[in-house]
Structures are given as C-alpha cells and as structure tokens.
Amino acid sequence: MLRHATVAPARAWYTWSPRPAEMVFLPLGVRLTPVGFAASTGKATLFPSGPGVRFGRHAADAARTELTLTHAGTTLEWVYDKDGPFAVAGSWTAPVLGEWGLRFWINLCLSAEGGEPVRFDAASGAAVVKVGHRFVALASREEPSQVTGHDAVEGVVEDYETHGYFYLGARATEARTLALRFNLEQMRENRFALAVADREDLAVAQAKALAAAPAKPAPAPAHEGRFAGALDAIRDVMAWNTVWDEVNDRPYTSISRNWNLGKFGGFGVWLDDQQYNGLLTTLFDHSLAADNIAAWLASATPQGNLACLLTANDAWVDRTQIPVGAFITWLTYARSGSRATLEATYDTLARNHRWWWENRDPERLGLVSYGTSDVGEGLYKGSHFGARNESSMDNSPIHDEAVYDTATRTLTTIDVGLNSLLALDAEMLARFAEVLGRDDEAAEFAAIAEGLRTRIRDTLWDETRGLFANRIRGGGFVRSVGPTSFYPLTAGAASEAQVEKLLAHLTNPETFGGPFAIPGTARSDPAAKDNTYWRGRIWPPLNFFTWTGLHRYGRHVEATRLAEKSYALFDAAWRERRLCPENYNAETGEPLDQPDTEGFYSWGALMPLMAVAEVMDVSPWSGWTVVNDGAPVRLGPVQSPAGAVTLSIADGVMTLERNGRLLLRTAARGRFTRLSFGDGDIRVTLPEDLAEGARLTFGAIKVADVVAATVGGAPVEVTADADGVGVGPLPATAAGKTVRLVLAADSARSAV
C-alpha cells in the first residue's frame, strides 16, 4: 500500500516534514525523527525550524543532507547519506557538549503515519515496521541504551519531561512509535541506517550493513572560483524549503519552511514566490520545477486572475501579484526545453494577463493600477492595503500618495513597475503563442507589449528627475521612487537617452548608489530611514529585475557590478550564518537588525542566481550564454538547454562539458551567446569584442561529420583537434557573428 504514489523513487527518502531533521520515506509514510533531551533544562526537543537548527548542505534529491542541531548548549552535527533510492544512512557527532554527555540523550524514533506497529528485535538489534507488503528497518552501529514505546513522537518528549532519563517504565519492544535511546557519554558519535525491502530479513540486513559501513566522503562543491558557492547556495535553499504539503497532498518549495505551519497553517503559496521557486529549482531538477509550477497554476480563479495568496487559513482571490509568471516560466522552459511547460501554463497566464486590462484599467488609459476586486473573503479585501498587496511591496512609500478609489476598487496611481512587468508579460506570452503555433495570439500579445512600452516611455518618464516614476491618474508624478524605476529596462521600454540618465541613479548616493545595492527606497527619501520592510530595505526581486534589464540593454558592466554587490551582500549572511534573508538593511547590509525579516526565505536565492548567471545564463534575448572573463571557475552540474552541464575556466581556457564529454572549448574571452547543441546543428554566437585569432573546439565530432561550417553565413574550414573539431583562428571581424556546424545525420545524435 502506497500512501503517496506520485513521488519519484529518487526523492522518496527526503526531508519532507516541517521538522528539518526528520527523514521521511514518503511512499510509505515512514518517519525517522530525532529527539533530543537535556537533563540540565529538563526539556526535550523535536528540533523544529528555528534558532536550534542551522541548515547545511542539501542535495536536490537528498543524496546528502547536513544540519547542525543545538539544544541546551549541546551541538550535534547531523548528516544523512542515501544509498540508492531505498536506503539512507545517518550519523551524528557532538563537537560541543552543554553538560555531561550522560545527561544528554539522542533518540531515533521510528513510526509510520498509518499507525502500523513498530517492533524491536533484540537479537538483530533492529526496529522494523511493515506497511502494506514492505518492510522498513532501522539499525544502529552502537547498541541503544534502551528502547521505549509511545503513541507518537510527542510522547517521547512528554516521557522525558515528566520522568527524566532514568525512568524505565516506558520500555517496550512494540508500539506505534519506538525510540532507540542513546546518550552522548557512551555514543558521542554514532551511525545508523534505514532500509526498505520486500522481506524483513533483507531490510534488516541492508540497514545493518549500511550502518556498519564507512561514511561517504562529502561531495565536491558545485561552484568554485568566481562567485564560489553561489550555485550550492541556491541548491541548499531550494532543497531545504521543499516540503510535503499535507493539506493538498503535494510536494512544493515553500516560501520558507519556517512559515509553513506556524504562519500559514500547513501551506502557503504566494504567487510570485512560487513562480521564482519554479525557476530556481529548474537549475537542478526539472520535475521539482514542474511541482512548483503546478502549485501556482492551482491558484487560478474563475474570474481569470491567479490568486495573490493561498494558505490553509485564507485565500486572497480578490488580488493577484505582479505579472512575472510568463517571464519566469519562459526562463524555466528555455532551460528545460519542455514544450509541455508552455502548453500547461499558456492559457492560464494569458487569462491572467487579460484580467489585468479588464479589472485594473478603469479609465481605459492603456496603463494599469493595483486594486482589489469584489470577490472572495480574503483579509484586507476592499482596502488600500489589500490593493497594495498586488505589488508585493505592501508598505513601500511609492504607494503613500495613492488613494484607494472605492468606485473602481483600484489605487489612483499608475505604477511604473507594474506596467513594465505587464509589458514584459505580453512579450513573453507572444513567444509562448509563437512556439505553440497560435499565430493570431502571438501577434495580439506582441502588439500589446509594443503599445505599452510606448506609453511607459512617453507617460511615466519624469524628465526633471531623469527617471521613471509612478504617476497619479490625471495628475503628476509621485515623490517617492524605488528600484521599480529601473523596470522599464526589463520591459525594453526605455529610449537610449532615458537609459543614460536613468543609470546615473545607480551610482548616485542620493538615490540608489552606495556600498549596498539596491535600496528599496531612494536614500534621500525620508521613508528610507524607517528601515521597515519595503521602506528602505534591500530586496532580492528588485535587484533581480533591475539586473535583468541592464543585461537586456547590453549594459553588462553595470549588470555585473550589481550582481557582484548582490552576491557579496548575500554571501556575508550565508557563509557564516547560513542565512538566506528576505531583505537587508540598506545602510549596514545586516538582515536581522529588525524583527520582520525571515532569515531563510526562498526568494533570497535570487541574489546568488544573478552570480551564477554571470558565468552561465539563459535569457529570452541572448539565449544560452556563457562568459569567459579569464577568472578561474568551476560551475555545475547545472541544468541547461543541453541537459546537465559543467563549465570550467582554467588558465584562461573555458571548457563546457556534458557527462564528461566535451561540448565546447575556447581560450577566447567574452560573452558567447545563443549556444545550441541540437541534433545535427551546433551554433554559437561570438562575443562582440572578439579578439583576433580566436579558436573554438567542438567536442565528440570528427571533420568527416561536418556537412557545412559557417561563420556569419560565410563558409569556414574546420580542422581536426585531439578531442573534436576546431574552427579558427578567426579574424576580429567575426565578432558578433554566429558559428554554425551542420552535421551528417548519422553522426548527429552520437555527437551531441
């Protein structure tokens, strides 16, 4: 009997539970729950998310999972290592003791969610639970001091806190939950294992053998050299925040596992957050990205919008959030190549886009405002604050001058960030429709995007201040500005003259310059001193969309500088404290200087995402891009349009490999764009600043395989290299042109 039959075997054993240290075999609902007890305080703990848990490394499939657990001054280094899909080993070491080890107890508690009895066999030293026709065995390298029985893991806590650790009355060999008890005087280090099999003796033997085996070495970092650790950080944050939604019976990546139960009652889907999570998880696991897409798709309302927020407690269906879904989903599609992603999301995203025009442009100006419709029963419905929720920048001073118009149910300001993102949304939907062969809709959305770009450029540009700003409908510009003033870059709406004036604000200490970037409120604005949520603080999404716009306009130097500042800010909190903050103080860079910031928030990973993308990225405008700036780096494996690849730069030579096979090698410097390694057709667009004499090697093919080779459409000779085919040396005039190799049909699939 399978309790959850939709999870792939690779993720069957996983940290699905709200309790981070708990390992769950989801198909059977079997749990291994660590419980700690400190006699010094008389308190036991299930190690919930919070100050007592420091999140370590976490593979996307939980092949390796590391935590630091702290209770009453005692520190445990806790590690899980999987041995295939059906077995997992665990271990602990106690580098710091808060009291005599005899008085600090570690308990390995085995249970099944269906209440099946767990038995302990003294002869084998293993605990076993049978669920349906399967057996799960738990064995320890060290023999437990005693085994006790309880109705649930909470009963273990109650037993310790009521009776202490000398009590023998709970001893048992069968119960709904069995606790194998160890103390740190006798077992300061230990290794244990769980195994699943279709016969009890097999499960026990496998668990015992794995518990007795040496621990696996720690895996190598996924990102070394330039921006070291950025890819690892994204992986760890996404993996730790991926949990099982027990309310809706599904996997998804939560906003923060710290909020899942306490704040939202079991699950919480903020629309934009869930869309970001789809993008961030597709770097490692396309199936998990699909789970996150499914989570936000489920928020579609009969009215046409995607709901702003759905939790176990509330539903904000009267609002949506900023329209970034088509852009983020396009990036997910571009990395995975899954047409099914577009097919699954297009109609819903198109309805959501049209909903904006029907419900948020009351005067038919061709520019929209935030609002709250008269549907649902959500908190703040029909209020000024509810309308501001759509922006996600709830208390930002850019909304201070807005009035909530009860007749139209909208704010009276035209928001530059919203309209820019809506233009981007239409542009991406045109791309969706084109791929799907819906030509009329592609033309419709392309026209919407172009018209909106023009209105943004003409209506929302404040020449006096040299930037884009929100505007009161029928009136002037609002005083307060934020990084959304840069969003017309992301939409492609700014003229070149506007760009020059706009970018001056990135270095102006009165607006958005300074050592920490980018403040959510202009530094000269009195509201910046509030340092409360969106008033003054630095927010990862604001940086991400500004950075996107800079690259779109070819302002790569400025974009790289912003990525460097963003990653330095993130890394200062991550490297020592393993924090992935929701936001940061704009003056000091400290994330936890006020009580409103969540310290392990999924969209915080947008900061290291920019750093990863400075090495390798996929965008709608330049395609798959890799950068060789000569600095040493090793990045990967990471998902790309060609599958999981690894990029490295050593001694100035850039190498791109897939499964150890060479795709591309070159010593040429610069940004290589529009990479494509399709069947029988290889393409790479050369850097705009290509130096004389550049040479590229394409691996795993022979000269005889090449039917045609061109640079910028002109024929070029290829030569044999030791591990592939070489093109070049090329003249500097080849800069910006595309190298293309067409391969013979018989060799195409084997080559790439």
Question: At 751, is the pLDDT very low, low, confident or very high (cuts 50, 70, 90)?
Answer: very low
- The amino acid that residue 31 corresponds to is R
The 10s digit of each residue's pLDDT in 501-543 is 999 999 999 999 999 999 999 999 999 999 999 999 999 999 9
Query: Are 140 and 122 a contacting pair, CB within 8 Å?
Result: no
Contacts of 548 (CB under 8 A, 6+ apart): 489, 490, 619
Task: List Cβ neighbours of 166 (8 Å cut-off, separation of 6 or more).
Answer: none
High-pLDDT (> 70) share of the chain, %? 99
Model confidence at 261: pLDDT above 90: no
pLDDT band at 746 (very low <50, low <70, confident <90, very high): low
Taking the mean position of all CA atoms in its chain, how far away is CA 125?
41
Q: How many angstroms separate the Cα of 523 from the Cα of each of 183, 450, 528?
A: 54, 33, 6
Average pLDDT over all residues of the chain = 96
Q: What is the pLDDT of residues 175-188, one digit of tens each?
A: 999 999 999 999 99
Checking 346-349 for CB contacts under 8 A at 24+ apart, the result is 346/429, 346/432, 346/433, 346/436, 346/438, 348/297, 348/300, 348/306, 349/325, 349/425, 349/429, 349/432
pLDDT at 749 over 90: no
Q: Which helix (H) or strand (E) holds 551?
A: helix 540-552
pTM above 0.95, yes or no: yes
Closest CA to 543 of 487, 499, 590: 487
pLDDT tens-digit series, residues 494-506: 999 999 999 999 9
Amino acid in the structure at residue 38: A
pLDDT attached to residue 745: 81
What number of H helices and E strands is found in the chain? Answer: 16, 41
- CA 182 to CA 165: how far, in whole Å? 10
